[in-house]
Amino acid sequence: MVDRCQDIGGEGVYTVTLSNLLAIVILSRGKCGICKGSSIYLISMATADLLVIVYNIILITLAFKYFPVSFLFYTAVCRINIAMGYATKDCSVWLTIAFTIDRYVAICCHSLRARYCTEKTAASAVCIVCFVSILRNIPFLFRYQSVGTWYGVPWGCDLKLEFFTLPGWVAFFWIHHLLNPLIPYLLILLFNALTVRHIVLANRARRGLRARSNRDQRGDAEMVNRRKSIILLFVVSGSFILLWMTKISVFLLMEITNDHFYLNYDHPVAIADISGTVLFYLSSCTNTTLYALTQSKFREELTRALKYPFTLISERIPALK
C-alpha cells in the first residue's frame, strides 16, 4: 500500500524563493509604514516560509528528483533535513499564531498594548518559537533508519515500522499533530473571532457616540486607522485558515476512520491529501502577494525594488559613453 504522498512538483520554486527574499529585504528596510514589532513578526514569518520551501521541497523533493545520488541522502544528513523540515513548518505556523495574538492585544487589549506590543517582546517571541520548534522535533532524528549502505556509508531514510506500534511513538504522533496544525488552527479561529467581535462592538459604540454629537462619520480618522490595522491581520490569518482547511479535514477523516493509507493515487482521499499538501506549501509563498495587495507602501517599495536593476543600468549607460 502507498503511504501519504508528500511529493509536489518543483514548478515555481524559484519564484516562491525570490518572492520571500523580496519580502524579507523590503520589510527589513522599515519603510513600509508598519510598526517595528509587527515588522519583526512579518520578517520572521517570511524567513520561516522560505526555510519551509528550502528544506521540504528543494533539499528533499527536488534533490531526490534531480540529484538522487548525492551527500543529501546520507542517512545522517537526510535525518537532519527531515527534522528541520518539520521544525520550519512549526516555526511558520506558530509565528502566525504569535502575530495573530500580537494584533489581538494591540486591537482589543488597550491596557496590555503598551507593554506587550513592543519590539523587544516580538523579538523574544520569535526566538522562543524557533527554539521550541527545533527542540520538539528532535525525535524525528530517530524516526528513520537507513535503507542500506553506499560504499560502507549508511544511505537513505526509511520510516521505522515501530513508529506505528510503540506507545511512545504513537503518543508523539498525536502530540505532534495536536501542536501542528490542530491547536494552531483553533487558536487562529478563536483570536480572529474575538477580534471581529471587539471591532463590531467598538464600531457600534463609536457610531452611536458620534451620532449623538452630530459629527460627520466620514471624517472619523480613528475608525479608518483601525480598519487599516486589521486588514493585514485578517489576510494573513485568513489565508492560513483557508489553505490549511483541506489538510486538516483529511487528517481528521483519516483519524476518525483509522485508515492512514490508500491503495493508489486515484483514491479520493489520496487526491485530497496531495491537494492539501500543495495548498499547505502554497501558504508559505502567499505572504508577499498579500502584503502587496493590502499595503500601499509595501507596493511602492516592491515596485522600486523591481525597477532598481533597470534604473541602475540606465544610470550606467551615459557613463559608458
Domains of the chain (ranges; CATH) run 13-306 (1.20.1070.10)
Residue with cell 499538501: 277
Q: Among 56-60, 137-141, 152-156, 251-255, which range has the highest average pLDDT?
A: 137-141
Q: What is the mean pLDDT of the chain?
A: 80
Q: Which three cell numbers stand for residue 159?
A: 520510516
Q: Comparing 290 with 182, which gets the higher pLDDT? A: 182
pLDDT number for residue 4: 42
pLDDT band at 311 (very low <50, low <70, confident <90, very high): confident
pLDDT at 277: 81
- Residue 5 pLDDT greater than 60, yes or no: no
The pLDDT of residue 293: 66
| pLDDT score, position 1 | 34
Is pLDDT above 60 for 161? yes
* Rounded Cα distance, 299 and 292, in Å: 5
Concatenating the DSSP letter of every residue in 44-75 gives HHHHHHHHHHIIIIIIIIIHHHH-SSSGGGBH
pTM of the model: 0.83
Segment 168-195 shows an average pLDDT of 87
The reported pLDDT for the residue numbered 303 is 85
Out of 14-18, 153-157, 282-286, 289-293, pick the least confident.
289-293
What DSSP string runs through 106-174?
Answer: HHH-HHHHHHHSSHHHHHHHHHHHHHHHHHHTGGGGGSEE-SEEETTEEE--EE-GGGGTSHHHHHHHH
For 115-119, which contacts have Cβ atoms below 8 Å and span 24 or more sequence positions?
117/35, 117/37, 118/37, 119/36, 119/37, 119/40
Grid cell at residue 118:
513592543
How confident is the model over 225-245, as a mean pLDDT? Answer: 75
Of 15-19, 84-88, 206-210, 282-286, the one with minimum mean pLDDT is: 206-210
User: Please, which pLDDT band fits residue 6 given cuts at 50, 70 and 90?
Assistant: very low
- pLDDT at residue 297 above 60? yes
pLDDT in tens, 108-127: 888 888 889 899 999 999 99
